[in-house]
Amino acid sequence: MDKPDVTLENSDAVYDYYLAHQQNRLLAKAAYATLAYRFRPRIRYAEGVRERLRELVRSNTRLVLAVNHLTERDPYTVAGAAWRSPLRQVIGRTRVLAKDELFAEPTRRDRIDLMGSIPVFRGKNHGMRAVNAAGQRMMDVCAERMRRGDDVAIFPEGTCNEEDPTRLQRIGSGIGHITSRAMKLGVRPALVHMGISYGPGVDRYADDAAVRGASVYFTTPVTDLPEKPAEIARLVQAGLQDAVDGAVARY
């Protein structure tokens, strides 16, 4: 299937494509390894969490990874952290939600397609009414990809935190809807919270040097999940703030 242009007007074709798209796993692992070497995130875990993540991966449990959003380079930190953690084993079968404008330039699109990205049309860019149908389809695609065996990584704040990097912004309900829809398809996922801290004075446009050596912290994964999207979102809000607190404390 040919790559469709990633535009809102073309969203049906876009999500048909990303429902089936599969990157080259060997190349993806090589890319993640390169980013781990380049950005060198420092990984820490709450007690027992490293082994718990290994158990979840070994048992083929679907993962919903929630990450706070501080800079435009956060995906590089997440990729490097995945390589340096038990998440290495799910590289190549993890879908990463990314804003649609990142898919506009062909070379950049090739790179983020390799990372397993799925485009998101954001209301702040196109208007909430305009993106409603595309957003519903995106969430259905994510849920179906999980049913087929993929994990999903999400920045649930939806935009970079330009206020206080130590305090999570209010997260949207999207992560709750995706998780709830996957559960309705028979998936029994685990929520994994990854907190990132670059220390004080780093803004959304930070360069590579400023984000190198990030503090990354994993809290205990949550497997006993409520069914309602709003309740899942509230659970993520609390769990991800705990992860951010851990990352900040260990910077």
Q: Please tell me the predicted confidence (pLDDT) of residue 144.
A: 98
Does residue 114 lie within any of the structural domains?
Answer: yes
Position 34 scores a pLDDT of 98
2 lies in some domain: no
Could you give the CA distance from residue 233 to residue 228 in angstroms, rounded to a whole number?
9
List the CATH number of the domain containing 212.
3.40.1130.10
**Mean pLDDT of successive 10-residue stretches along the chain, which has 251 residues:** 92 97 96 98 98 98 98 97 98 96 94 96 88 96 98 97 96 96 98 97 95 98 97 98 98 96
Residue 160 within a domain: yes
Is residue 90 left, alpha or beta, with left meaning phi > 0 and alpha meaning psi from -120 to 50?
alpha
pLDDT value for 125: 85
| First and final C-alpha spacing in the chain | 45
Domain membership flag for residue 3: no
Confidence at residue 10, expressed as pLDDT on a 0 to 100 scale: 95
30 lies in some domain:
yes
DSSP 180-215: HHHHHTT---EEEEEEEE--TT--TT--HHHHTT-E
Reading the block at residue 129, the tokens are 């009414």
Show the tokens assigned to 38: 């380049």
Task: Provide the domain limits for residue 180.
Answer: 8-249
What's the pLDDT score for residue 119?
97
pLDDT of residue 43: 98
Task: Give residue 236's pLDDT.
Answer: 98
Tokens 């446009």 map to which residue?
Answer: 205
Give 157's DSSP letter.
Answer: T
Q: What gap in Å lies between CA 155 and CA 153, rounded to an integer?
A: 7
Q: Which pLDDT does position 2 carry in this prediction?
A: 84
Assess if residue 123 is contained within a domain. Answer: yes
CA atoms 241, 212, 36, 30: torsion sign: positive
User: Residue 38 falls within a domain, yes or no?
Assistant: yes
> According to the model, what pLDDT value does residue 211 have?
97
| Beta-bridge partner residues of 215 | 42, 197
Report the number of distinct structural domains present in the chain: 1
* Phi-psi label, residue 54: left if phi above 0, alpha if psi -120 to 50, beta otherwise: alpha
Judge whether 186 lies within some domain: yes
Output the pLDDT for position 123: 85
